[in-house]
């Protein structure tokens, strides 16, 4: 019996390891060139073996499932929740936050600023988190930011979004069309002070496999839908992107053929984007934002004749020149709370 | 090549196991030497000749010292000093000069060079073997080896090169078990080391790094939890690699000494120093010939820290444990609890120092453990503990040694049938962790 167990253990272990090694050599792609006396070439081979492993997806999925079942603290900064992936927001840079608060407060003293800070999925999708998941107390953090920027008008998204769920993609850290709709309704309630318009959604793709899937390997998580946001009263519009491209739609169908389907909204516009609408409200807005605002824009087109979208990270021009344009009635800053705490904002 | 790396497990290990199974006993040393040369060549192709030359030099100097050791002892001692001096200069240049110059550059001496020779993995233990051999001959602890191949086989023996355990030449002899028993028991020991490394140490290290990189600061309790994780990561990483080395040697029939003898179950610092990195500390006690027992113990601890990590962090590890060893002697035997508390405090702080990315990071972390924290406790503390129950349980098992007897009972019972599937699952897990990017290279791979 003992001899049989010894034989079974040794033979099965050697066969398993050896066959995986041989099969990987023949089935994996992009073998690196090999040089006998180059250490770098040996390191490339090691990296290639891990990155191009022929059973990589299956093994990663199994590993992710095991991590979920053992109550792990997540993989690659992502919690594997119940049916959804939730990016962790466990930390931020206090120096960056302090700088941003100070910059926004100075800005708000000179301009009437509406501040929309979008809570992360770890707050809005709390019910799906693993049992002992922990992160930054976003409620406390938002209250602290609010106290330190008394001159800005806040849209209180957290209290509305925390009561329900399903406001974020399952495989992408951004809020989805439903989440942005809640954001729009809160803006109407807290800032514009009127009733929100009606919208319906039309699914354009049901196969969006966002970046969180790649980071965790949790392939069993259902793919996301990308939805077109259709207003009850459609408007004509002209979108002028920073590269000079002009479009008459807020959506980029080509993005649905790519991996980053979130680019469907405004072609993941960078720099400055100008949108003229057929809405005759005589109200124009400047939106200083990160990419969270792109999915909110379809809702705001119901409210404004002109929208100027300025991306904080990529716009290199002068913001004060944009603001000096005549006719701007509202200024919004729309950012993810996580980005607000970690990415330095400069008002040029 | 990392023993827990994908390439090692999928290519080197099965071929090595096959070699151990097929090679007749009289050619075993030659087979081991071939595998060792391939192992060294793969880790550092250009150094394979230098390392082989160092081994040959040790063979020649050993032969010359043996000629003089009886009839002209001063000459033998002179030859030993010259040989050891050459190796020590080599070790200093390869391992310590880079960190020293980097430190000086950070202090403003920017004209100093910033590119140094990279220490090839295994270089340190190779040098330890090369020094110990002529010294043992000189002090009549062993006779010179007639066969150069036998000596090279011992010096270049690949399982122990990465981080030990060190084995003296006279103790490096094949065991008496059959080939089948050797491969099986070696494989089980290797698998145990792999488990410690990939399941326990990797998770504990991630936990420690999570706390230490919190920019917004951690709570006091989270910082202490992170310190326990650092100790868990350090112990299971080092003992895991030692287990893998012992297992690999065992497959070829050689029995390496134990490097860690349940050190976390120690009652005081004295006991701990006799159980932690046993062979490395013994090497320092034996071959660094000055002072009384206490001085040798303190020197051994300090040098062990520097050998783990040749930097201020490694030195701090050694200083903390050495000071505790001296302090512990002043505490009366009748209050063992104080000795144990002192030992654990030293272990936690020293682990934080040796695993922190830099000395400044270690100081910052230590401050967080007392006063420079955001709060006393937060939700993260519970999350850190409950989401890392495996390392937490492993640390408890290391303090109260229950697993080894349990494992022995399973091996000798009818439940032994679970061993093959368990080993298979472990290898699959190790591969899955590697392709998921969850495994990490050996913490001190660059410095050992």
What DSSP string runs through A306-348? Answer: EEEEEETTT--S-HHHHHHSTTEEEEEEEEEHHHHHHS-----
The answer to whether A14 contacts B18, with C-beta atoms less than 8 Å apart, is yes
The answer to whether B45 contacts A12, with C-beta atoms less than 8 Å apart, is no
Q: How far apart are CA A134 and CA A75, in angstroms?
A: 14
Q: Which residues in chain A touch residue B382, judged by CB atoms under 8 angstroms apart?
A: 132, 134
Question: Mean pLDDT lowest for which of B34-38, B163-167, B443-447?
Answer: B443-447
Residue A182 in tokens: 């809640």
Q: Which residues in chain A touch residue B195, judged by CB atoms under 8 angstroms apart?
A: none
- pLDDT at position B445, please? 61
- Residue of A10, A24, A137 with shortest CB distance to B17: A10
Sign of the torsion formed by the C-alpha atoms of B352, B357, B360 and B364: negative
The answer to whether A6 contacts B213, with C-beta atoms less than 8 Å apart, is no
Q: Tell me the average pLDDT across B77-100.
A: 89
Question: What percentage of chain A reaches a pLDDT higher than 90?
Answer: 50
- pLDDT at position B446, please? 45
Question: What percentage of chain B reaches a pLDDT higher than 90?
Answer: 35
The answer to whether B215 contacts A16, with C-beta atoms less than 8 Å apart, is no
- pLDDT at position A70, please? 64
Q: How confident is the model at residue B55 (pLDDT cuts 50, 70, 90)?
A: confident
- Residue of B420, B433, B438 with shortest CB distance to A5: B420
Number of CB pairs < 8 Å for A and B? 154
- Which residues, including other chains, have CB under 8 Å from residue B258's CB and lie 6 or more apart? B165, B242, B246, B278
Q: How confident is the model at residue B86 (pLDDT cuts 50, 70, 90)?
A: very high
**Long-range pairs, B408-417, Cβ under 8 A, ≥24:** B416/A1, B416/A2, B416/A5, B417/A5
Measured in angstroms, the CA of A107 and the nearest CA of chain B are apart by 25
Residue B447 in tokens: 């410095």
Residue pair B368/A111 in contact (Cβ under 8 Å)? The answer is no
- pLDDT at position A56, please? 87
Chain A stretch 26-65, residues whose beta carbon is closer than 8 A to a beta carbon of chain B? 36-39, 42, 45-46, 49-51, 53, 55-56, 59-60, 62-64
Residue pair B171/B120 in contact (Cβ under 8 Å)? The answer is no
| Inter-CA distances, A175 with A169, A191, A204, Å | 6, 20, 17
Going by the DSSP 8-state scheme, the letter that residue A172 receives in this structure is S
Residue B305: name the closest of B292, B324, B291, B290 by CA. Answer: B324
Chain A stretch 86-115, residues whose beta carbon is closer than 8 A to a beta carbon of chain B? 90-94
Which comes out higher in pLDDT, residue B49 or B388? B49
Q: How far apart are CA A6 and CA B178, in angstroms?
A: 12
The answer to whether A17 contacts B433, with C-beta atoms less than 8 Å apart, is no
Q: Tell me the average pLDDT across B241-245.
A: 94
Sign of the torsion formed by the C-alpha atoms of A17, A18, A19 and A24: positive
Measured in angstroms, the CA of B435 and the nearest CA of chain A are apart by 5
Residue pair B52/B37 in contact (Cβ under 8 Å)? The answer is yes
Buried b (16+ CB within 10 A) or exposed e, B6-37: bbbbbbbbbebbebbeebeeeebbebbbebbb
- pLDDT at position B116, please? 66
| Helix, strand, or coil (residue B416) | helix
Nearest Cα residue in chain B from A45: B7
Q: Tell me the average pLDDT across A225-249.
A: 91
Please name the residue that has the structure tokens 């716009």.
A315
Question: Mean pLDDT lowest for which of A121-125, B110-114, B309-313?
Answer: B110-114
Which comes out higher in pLDDT, residue A328 or A296? A296
The values of phi and psi at residue B65, to 5°, are -65, -40
The answer to whether B10 contacts A18, with C-beta atoms less than 8 Å apart, is yes
- pLDDT at position B447, please? 45
The answer to whether A59 contacts B432, with C-beta atoms less than 8 Å apart, is yes
Residue A235: name the closest of A181, A281, A180 by CA. Answer: A281
Buried b (16+ CB within 10 A) or exposed e, B61-84: bbbbbbebbeeeeeebeebbeebb
Q: How far apart are CA A294 and CA A278, in angstroms?
A: 19
Which comes out higher in pLDDT, residue A276 or B380? A276
Measured in angstroms, the CA of A126 and the nearest CA of chain B are apart by 14
- pLDDT at position B448, please? 40
The answer to whether A9 contacts B419, with C-beta atoms less than 8 Å apart, is yes
- pLDDT at position A17, please? 92
Q: How far apart are CA A40 and CA A42, in angstroms?
A: 5
- pLDDT at position A135, please? 77
The answer to whether A17 contacts B382, with C-beta atoms less than 8 Å apart, is no
The answer to whether A45 contacts B7, with C-beta atoms less than 8 Å apart, is yes
Give per-residue pLDDT as tens, B95-140: 888 888 887 887 777 777 766 677 777 888 889 999 999 999 999 8
Measured in angstroms, the CA of B443 and the nearest CA of chain A are apart by 17
The answer to whether A16 contacts B436, with C-beta atoms less than 8 Å apart, is no
Q: How far apart are CA A79 and CA A129, in angstroms?
A: 7
- pLDDT at position A71, please? 59
Residue pair B194/B245 in contact (Cβ under 8 Å)? The answer is no
Q: Where does residue B401 fall: left (phi above 0), alpha (psi -120 to 50 degrees), or beta otherwise? A: beta
CB atoms within 10 A of CB B118: 13
Question: Mean pLDDT lowest for which of A73-77, A179-183, B100-104, B237-241?
Answer: A73-77
Q: Which residues in chain A touch residue B378, judged by CB atoms under 8 angstroms apart?
A: 134
Q: How confident is the model at residue B413 (pLDDT cuts 50, 70, 90)?
A: confident
The answer to whether A70 contacts B390, with C-beta atoms less than 8 Å apart, is yes
Confidence check: pLDDT of B1 > 80: no
Question: Mean pLDDT lowest for which of A199-208, A305-314, B381-390?
Answer: B381-390
Question: Mean pLDDT lowest for which of A41-50, A76-85, A249-258, B374-383?
Answer: B374-383
Confidence check: pLDDT of A208 > 80: yes
Give per-residue pLDDT as tens, B266-284: 999 999 999 999 999 999 9
| Inter-CA distances, A136 with A88, A115, A225, Å | 9, 20, 28
**Across the strands, what pairs with A251?**
A265
Confidence check: pLDDT of B216 > 80: no
- pLDDT at position B376, please? 81
Q: How confident is the model at residue B46 (pLDDT cuts 50, 70, 90)?
A: confident
Q: What is the pTM of this model?
A: 0.82
Cβ burial, residue A1 (10 Å; 0-12/13-18/19+)? exposed
- pLDDT at position A18, please? 92
Q: How far apart are CA A85 and CA A221, in angstroms?
A: 8
The answer to whether A53 contacts B424, with C-beta atoms less than 8 Å apart, is no
Residue B11 in tokens: 């290519």
Helices (H), chain A: 2-27, 39-51, 56-69, 94-110, 121-124, 138-148, 157-161, 177-187, 211-216, 297-300, 319-324, 337-342
Mean pLDDT across chain B? 86
Question: Mean pLDDT lowest for which of A288-297, B88-97, B226-235?
Answer: B88-97
Chain A stretch 194-223, residues whose beta carbon is closer than 8 A to a beta carbon of chain B? 217
A2 touches B at CB < 8 Å: yes
- Residue of B6, B180, B438 with shortest CB distance to A75: B438
């Amino acid at each position: 019996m003992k001899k049989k167990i010894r034989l079974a253990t040794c033979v099965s272990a050697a066969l398993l390891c050896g066959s995986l090694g041989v099969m990987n050599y023949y089935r994996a792609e992009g073998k690196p060139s090999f040089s006998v006396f180059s250490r770098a070439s040996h390191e490339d081979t090691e990296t290639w073996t891990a990155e191009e492993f022929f059973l990589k997806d299956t093994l990663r999925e199994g590993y992710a499932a095991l991590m979920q079942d053992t109550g792990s603290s997540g993989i690659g900064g992502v919690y594997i929740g119940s049916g959804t992936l939730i990016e962790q927001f466990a930390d931020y840079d206090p120096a960056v936050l302090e700088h941003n608060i100070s910059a926004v407060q100075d800005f708000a003293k000179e301009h009437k600023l509406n501040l929309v800070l979008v809570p992360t999925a770890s707050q809005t999708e709390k019910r799906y988190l693993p049992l002992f998941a922990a992160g930054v107390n976003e409620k406390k953090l938002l209250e602290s930011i609010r106290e330190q920027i008394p001159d800005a008008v806040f849209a209180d998204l957290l209290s509305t979004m925390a009561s329900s769920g399903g406001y974020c993609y399952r495989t992408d850290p951004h809020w989805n069309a439903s989440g942005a709709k809640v954001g729009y309704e809160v803006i109407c309630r807290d800032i514009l002070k009127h009733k929100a318009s009606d919208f319906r959604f039309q699914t354009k793709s049901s196969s969006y496999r966002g970046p969180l899937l790649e980071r965790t390997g949790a392939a069993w998580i259902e793919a996301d839908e990308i939805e077109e946001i259709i207003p009850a009263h459609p408007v004509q519009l002209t979108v002028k992107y920073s590269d000079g491209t002009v479009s008459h739609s807020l959506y980029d169908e080509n993005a649905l053929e790519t991996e980053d389907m979130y680019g469907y909204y405004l072609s993941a516009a960078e720099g400055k984007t100008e949108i003229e609408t057929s809405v005759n409200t005589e109200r124009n807005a400047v939106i200083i934002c990160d990419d969270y605002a792109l999915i909110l824009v379809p809702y705001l087109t119901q409210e404004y004749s002109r929208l100027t979208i300025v991306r904080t990270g990529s716009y290199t021009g002068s913001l004060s020149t944009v603001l000096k344009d005549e006719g701007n009635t509202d200024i919004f800053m729309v950012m993810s709370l996580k980005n607000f705490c970690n990415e330095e904002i400069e008002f040029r | 090549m990392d023993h827990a790396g994908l390439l090692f497990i999928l290519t080197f290990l099965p071929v090595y196991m096959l070699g151990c199974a097929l090679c007749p006993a009289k050619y075993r040393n030659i087979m081991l030497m071939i595998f060792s040369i391939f192992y060294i060549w793969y880790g550092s192709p250009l150094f394979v000749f230098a390392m082989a030359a160092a081994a040959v030099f040790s063979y020649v100097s050993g032969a010359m010292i043996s000629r003089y050791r009886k009839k002209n002892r001063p000459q033998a001692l002179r030859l030993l000093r010259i040989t050891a001096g050459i190796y020590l200069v080599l070790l200093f240049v390869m391992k310590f000069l880079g960190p020293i110059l980097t430190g000086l550059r950070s202090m403003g001496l920017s004209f100093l060079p910033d590119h140094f020779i990279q220490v090839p993995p295994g270089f340190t233990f190779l040098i330890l073997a090369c020094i110990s051999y002529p010294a043992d001959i000189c002090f009549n602890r062993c006779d010179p080896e007639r066969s150069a191949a036998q000596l090279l086989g011992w010096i270049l023996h690949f399982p122990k090169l990465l981080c030990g355990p060190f084995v003296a030449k006279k103790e490096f002899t094949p065991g008496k078990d059959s080939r089948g028993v050797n491969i099986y028991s070696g494989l089980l020991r290797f698998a145990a080391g792999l488990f410690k490394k990939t399941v326990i140490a990797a998770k504990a290290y991630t936990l420690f790094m999570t706390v230490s990189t919190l920019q917004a600061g951690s709570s006091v309790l989270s910082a202490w939890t992170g310190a326990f994780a650092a100790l868990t990561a350090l112990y299971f990483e080092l003992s895991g690699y030692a287990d893998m080395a012992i297992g690999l040697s065992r497959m070829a029939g050689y029995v390496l000494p134990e490097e860690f003898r349940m050190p976390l179950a120690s009652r005081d610092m004295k006991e701990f120093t006799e159980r932690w990195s046993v062979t490395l500390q013994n090497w320092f006690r034996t071959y660094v010939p000055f002072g009384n027992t206490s001085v040798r113990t303190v020197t051994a601890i300090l040098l062990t820290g520097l050998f783990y990590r040749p930097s201020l962090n490694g030195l701090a590890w050694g200083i903390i444990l050495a000071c505790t060893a001296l302090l512990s002697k002043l505490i009366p035997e009748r209050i063992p609890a104080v000795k144990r508390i002192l030992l654990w405090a030293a272990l936690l702080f020293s682990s934080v120092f040796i695993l922190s990315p830099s000395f400044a990071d270690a100081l910052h972390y230590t401050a967080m453990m007392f006063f420079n924290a955001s709060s006393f406790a937060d939700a993260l503390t519970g999350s850190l503990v409950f989401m890392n129950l495996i390392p937490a349980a492993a640390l408890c098992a290391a303090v109260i040694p229950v697993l080894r007897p349990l494992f022995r009972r399973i091996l000798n019972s009818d439940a032994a049938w679970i061993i093959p599937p368990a080993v298979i699952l472990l290898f699959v897990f190790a591969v899955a962790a590697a392709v998921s990017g969850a495994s990490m290279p050996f913490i001190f791979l660059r410095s050992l």
